[in-house]
């Protein structure tokens, strides 16, 4: 992914894509002192830009470091990076991390770096699978308790269990894996939040040990505007067999129906497909209220 044309915003300047490098003694590489975001630009507008930038700053604060820019500066840098690379529709990846000035668990003196890369990433899951629903298996790992890890931060270290779980799922022919939390409640997939439907009511897990996604909040609002009841609660894994429709939501995944979780089967139905279409319209500024 490093050998391509383009520009990456790095600490306030544009650097040619191939030259945007870090040293091997970067603290973040050794101790996971890094936080990131995932955003999308549609038709020239970054969806919920400031909410993402504010989350980046909050994630850094939780990891005990301060980003040396303002939220407004990072917002502008995100827009400028899309423009510099000639994109109107793309995925954006801001990331902030501790540098090389100190190596060891303590890293108070390290410089904080920020980079923003953008690329075309139309489909997180293969497009042909998306409408008929993707297949999930059970993840190898559980989401940790907030007493065990900084779960409200979009911290890179929290993704280690996601990568291992996703690899295992892919090796078995699945698109992704469902993660329960440490209590056995349904949490999310390795990179998106989850919604489950039963008798016309939409259920979604309470985000008390995983990311309260910006897409999740958007979809809850869209669903309520359409008149659906949305219940946020702790959902025991044992209930997986009681739902008729399931879908994932996230910036990269957008709204993606699920056809299978382990031994359970679901049909992408009217509610999933309606919210999938509404979300696609909303992010493109095409949602007209009926
Ligand atoms: N959970 C995880 C683990 C994620 O990586 C993401 C994507 N950032 C989400 C949920 C969804 O968050 P958002 O809707 O803000 O992209």
pLDDT string in tens for the chain (290-residue length): 999 999 999 999 999 999 999 999 999 999 999 999 999 999 999 999 999 999 999 999 999 999 999 999 999 999 999 999 999 999 999 999 999 999 999 999 999 999 999 999 988 888 778 888 999 999 999 999 999 999 999 999 999 999 999 999 999 999 999 999 999 999 999 999 999 999 999 999 999 999 999 999 999 999 999 999 999 999 999 999 999 999 999 999 999 999 999 999 999 999 999 999 999 999 999 987 64
Q: What is the DSSP letter of 29?
A: H
What is the CA(212)–ligand 1 centre distance, in A?
8
Cα 197 to chain centroid distance, Å, stands at: 22
Rounded to whole angstroms, how far apart are CA atoms 176 and 168? 9
CATH number for the domain harbouring residue 275: 3.20.10.10
Q: Whose CA is nearest to atom 4 of ligand 1?
A: 191
Q: Whose CA is nearest to atom 2 of ligand 1?
A: 191
| pLDDT score recorded for residue 287 | 86
72, 102, 119 - which closes a domain = 119
Polymer length in residues for the chain: 290
Residues 182 and 143 sit within 8 Å (Cβ to Cβ): yes
144 and 268 co-located in one domain: yes
What is the CA(254)–ligand 1 centre distance, in A?
10
Rounded to whole angstroms, how far apart are CA atoms 276 and 281? 9
86 and 222 co-located in one domain: no
21 and 153 co-located in one domain: no
User: Which structural domain, as residue segments, surrounds residue 234?
Assistant: 127-283
H-helix or E-strand containing 276? helix 270-283
142 and 269 co-located in one domain: yes
Q: What residues are paired with 134 via a beta bridge?
A: 258
| pLDDT score recorded for residue 43 | 96
Q: What is the DSSP letter of 238?
A: G
Q: Indicate whether 290 belongs to any domain.
A: no
Beta-carbon neighbour count of residue 184 at 10 Å? 12
22 and 52 co-located in one domain: yes
119, 135, 152 - which closes a domain = 119
Q: How many domains, in total, are found in the chain?
A: 2
106 and 143 co-located in one domain: no
188 and 278 co-located in one domain: yes
CATH number for the domain harbouring residue 29: 3.30.470.10
133 and 266 co-located in one domain: yes
ipTM over 0.95: yes
Ligand 1 atom at shortest distance from the alpha carbon of 52: 15
Q: Indicate whether 289 belongs to any domain.
A: no
What is the CA(83)–ligand 1 centre distance, in A?
25
Ligand 1 atom at shortest distance from the alpha carbon of 188: 1
Catalytic residues: 154
Ligand 1 atom at shortest distance from the alpha carbon of 251: 16
| Residue to probe by mutation, ligand 1, list 34, 38, 153, most atoms within 8 Å of CB | 38
Q: What is the DSSP letter of 286?
A: -
Which SS3 state, helix, strand or coil, does residue 75 take? helix
| Residue 97 structure tokens | 């991390």
Q: Indicate whether 161 belongs to any domain.
A: yes
Q: Indicate whether 2 belongs to any domain.
A: no
What is the CA(110)–ligand 1 centre distance, in A?
28
Q: Indicate whether 94 belongs to any domain.
A: yes
Q: Which residues lie with the beta carbon below 6 Å from any ligand 1 atom?
A: 38, 188, 191-193, 210-211, 213-216, 250-251
277 and 162 co-located in one domain: yes
| pLDDT score recorded for residue 31 | 98
Q: Indicate whether 258 belongs to any domain.
A: yes
95, 119, 143 - which closes a domain = 119
144 and 244 co-located in one domain: yes
Q: Indicate whether 138 belongs to any domain.
A: yes
Q: Which of 159, 233, 236, 247 is nearest to 203 (CA)?
A: 233
Cα 85 to chain centroid distance, Å, stands at: 22
pTM of the entire structure? 0.97
166 and 247 co-located in one domain: yes
What is the CA(193)–ligand 1 centre distance, in A?
6
| pLDDT score recorded for residue 289 | 63
171 and 85 co-located in one domain: no
Burial class (CB in 10 A: 0-12, 13-18, 19+), 173: exposed
Q: Indicate whether 28 belongs to any domain.
A: yes
């Amino acid at each position: 992914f490093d050998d391509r044309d383009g520009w990456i915003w790095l600490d306030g300047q544009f650097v040619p894509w191939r030259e945007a490098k870090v040293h091997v003694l970067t603290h973040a590489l050794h101790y996971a002192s890094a936080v990131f975001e995932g955003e999308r630009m549609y038709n020239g507008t970054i969806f919920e830009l400031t909410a993402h930038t504010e989350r980046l700053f909050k994630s850094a604060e939780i990891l005990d470091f301060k980003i040396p820019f303002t939220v407004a500066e990072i917002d502008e840098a995100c827009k400028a990076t899309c423009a510099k690379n000639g994109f109107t529709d793309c995925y954006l990846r801001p990331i902030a991390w501790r540098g090389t000035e100190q190596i060891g668990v303590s890293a108070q003196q390290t410089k904080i770096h920020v980079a923003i890369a953008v690329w075309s990433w139309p489909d997180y899951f293969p497009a042909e699978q998306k409408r008929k629903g993707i297949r999930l298996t059970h993840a190898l790992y559980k989401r940790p308790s907030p007493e065990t890890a900084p779960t409200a931060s979009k911290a890179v270290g929290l993704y280690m269990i996601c990568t291992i779980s996703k690899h295992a799922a892919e090796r078995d022919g699945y698109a992704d894996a469902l993660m329960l939390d440490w209590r056995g409640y349904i949490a999310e997939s390795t990179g998106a939040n989850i919604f489950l439907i039963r008798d016309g009511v939409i259920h979604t897990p309470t985000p008390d040990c995983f990311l309260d996604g910006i897409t999740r909040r958007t979809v809850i609002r869209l669903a309520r505007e359409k008149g659906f009841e949305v219940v946020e609660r702790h959902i025991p894994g044992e209930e997986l067999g009681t739902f008729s429709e399931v879908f994932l939501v996230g910036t990269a995944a957008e709204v993606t129906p699920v056809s299978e979780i382990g031994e359970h089967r679901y049909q992408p139905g009217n509610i999933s497909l309606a919210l999938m279409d509404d979300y696609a319209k909303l992010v493109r500024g095409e949602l007209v209220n009926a």
